[in-house]
Structure 1
Amino acid sequence: MRIRALLLAGLIAVVPLTDAAAQSRGRDRDRDEAQSQDRREQPRGYPGQGLRDAPRSAPRADPGDIARRVQSGRPGRMLGVQERGGDYVVRWEYPGGRVSDIQVDGRSGRVRGDD
């Protein structure tokens, strides 16, 4: 009789715990599904995405052409190209370590000058 009472008491204690654990798993699953839905709705980004996927209202200069124009006849090396307000900025390192931002027109690709 004592064993039955102990088993019954143990069962009574365990049932609410399993119910609470099941509810917790359900909340976690709902939260994970909501987060994965949010991730699916947001487009994935990648380096340089702004250069290629920017909304185009007029013909745009190609970043590769811009890099070649800036490099021609200029000593040093290019550190990177960035789009700013419809134009491009080429970061350039001259011999001796001086770094400059070179402004380039976003439509024509014409080099505007060094900063």
Structure 2
Amino acid sequence: MNRIRILLLAGLIAAAPMAAPSAHALEIQARDPLMGSLRQERAREESREGRRLSASEVARSVSRGREGRMLGINERNMGGRPVYVVRWEYPGGRVADITVDARTGAVIGER
């Protein structure tokens, strides 16, 4: 009977960290507003106010003059500024990540 109690207690202790965000995750969220749950709403608001391009505008911009197809687009924070990372597949199958400044639309890099 004691074994069962010990196993149940060990299971509860192991599952406890999954129930709530860690202190580290909360600290990152506090330091980096793009990591917060309001990230998409903030992006929409900044796009409406003309302070940031929308993901669809960035996708159209990257598509112009580039052969291949877009596989996906993600919003990130790079050194305190919002960026979009566009995953692009070129003819022949090569896949690249194209980093675009969310405010200016300038391509920052490709790898």
Length-normalised TM-score, structure 2: 0.53
RMSD between superposed Cα atoms in Å: 2.5
What CA distance in whole angstroms lies between the structure 2 residues aligned with 1:96 and 1:50?
A: 38
In the alignment, which of 53, 71, 81 is matched to residue 73 of structure 2? 81
Q: What amino acid is the match of 2:73? A: V
Distance 1:104 1:79, change over 3 A: same
Distance 1:80 1:104, change over 3 A: same
Equivalent residue number for residue 40 of structure 1: none
Q: 1:109 Cα deviation (Å)?
A: 1.3
Equivalent residue number for residue 90 of structure 2: 94
Q: 1:62 Cα deviation (Å)?
A: 1.3
Gaps of 5+ in 2: 1-36
4+ residue runs over 3 A deviation: 49-52
Q: 1:111 Cα deviation (Å)?
A: 1.6
What CA distance in whole angstroms lies between the structure 1 residues aligned with 2:62 and 2:39?
A: 17
User: What number of residue pairs does the alignment pair up?
Assistant: 67
Length-normalised TM-score, structure 1: 0.51
Point out the structure with max Rg over C-alpha: 1
What CA distance in whole angstroms lies between the structure 1 residues aligned with 2:39 and 2:64?
A: 21
Confirm or deny: 8 A CA contact 1:51 1:82 kept in the other structure: no
Distance 1:50 1:71, change over 3 A: farther
Gaps of 5+ in 1: 1-48
Between Structure 1 and Structure 2, the one with more strand by share is 2
